[in-house]
Amino acid sequence: MANSGGGVIVYGVTESQKAASGRVNVGDFDEAHERSLRSAAITAISPPVLGLHVHRLGSEGNRAVIVEVPPSSDGPHLIYRNDYLGAPLRNDSDTVWMRGRQIEAMYRTRFEERRHATEALDLLNDDAAAGRDTTERAWLIAVAHPRVPRLSDRLTRNMAREVFENVERLAIF
């Protein structure tokens, strides 16, 4: 799912012709199971898939588990299986294996995004440093450009600017 922009995996659902048709108990899903799942996302996948969110729903005997796989800009994520290295890709409710050109395109996209992020940081830094007299005093200039945008609890540009203005007022001159 990380190669497909993220998604949700639901354990505890029966299906008929690739459509959810009912519920089934997942059984015991304790902290050890959750650690194993997170460990597999880190050790069995390269580059690792970080930031999984695991939710337990229902009570004992009627439990479901939801795993949120975040979007990733580090694709393609590869797995090693039976002497083969491959890049899985979700296609609706199926998993298919990427072909060489798809893998090549994902690597190209990853490198272009990193180059773009570096250029964006340089521009932000130049903009923030403009007009600062660096011959008379030292300045702390901090800029950020998120690799994967956060959709919730996101600071607006004005809120971020206000944070730095408050810090600037506290600086010792």
115 and 41 assigned to the same domain: no
Q: Which of 39, 67, 96 is the last residue of a domain?
A: 96
Number of domains in the chain: 2
Distance CA 2, CA 71 (A): 6
How do residues 60-81 score in pLDDT, each as one tens digit?
788 889 999 988 888 899 998 7
pTM over 0.85: no
Closest among 112, 122, 119 to 73, alpha carbons compared: 112
φ/ψ of 24, rounded to 5, equals -145, 145
Instruction: Please report, for residues 164, 167, 173, the alpha-carbon distance to residue 170 in angstroms, rounded to integers and kept in the order given.
Output: 10, 5, 9
* The last residue of a domain, from among 72, 96, 120: 96
Residues of the domain holding 161: 103-170
Q: Which of 78, 96, 114 is the last residue before a domain boundary? A: 96
pLDDT above 90 as % of the chain: 28
Whole-number pLDDT of residue 45: 92
The reply to whether 85 and 150 lie within a common domain is: no
Q: Please tell me whether residues 124 and 157 are part of one structural domain.
A: yes
Closest to 10 measured CA to CA, from 134, 87, 19, 109: 19
> What percent helix, strand, coil does the chain show, rounded to 5?
35, 25, 40
105 pLDDT band, cuts 50/70/90, is: very high
Query: Does residue 82 carry a pLDDT above 90?
Result: no
Asked which of 2-6, 23-27, 74-78, 90-94 is least confident by mean pLDDT, the reply is 90-94
The answer on 89 and 112 residing in a single domain is no
Do 127 and 43 belong to one domain? no
Residue 81 has a pLDDT of: 77
pLDDT tens figures, 6-19: 888 888 888 888 78
Residues 20 and 36 in one domain: yes
Residue 118 and residue 33 share a domain: no
The mean pLDDT value for 142-148 works out to: 77
> Amino acid identity of 141?
I
Residues 51 and 119 in one domain: no
Edge-to-edge strands of the sheet including 45-46?
Answer: 45-46, 78-81, 84-86
Residues 17 and 86 reside in one and the same domain: yes
Tokens representing residue 132 in the block: 């600062």
Contacts of 162 (CB under 8 A, 6+ apart): none
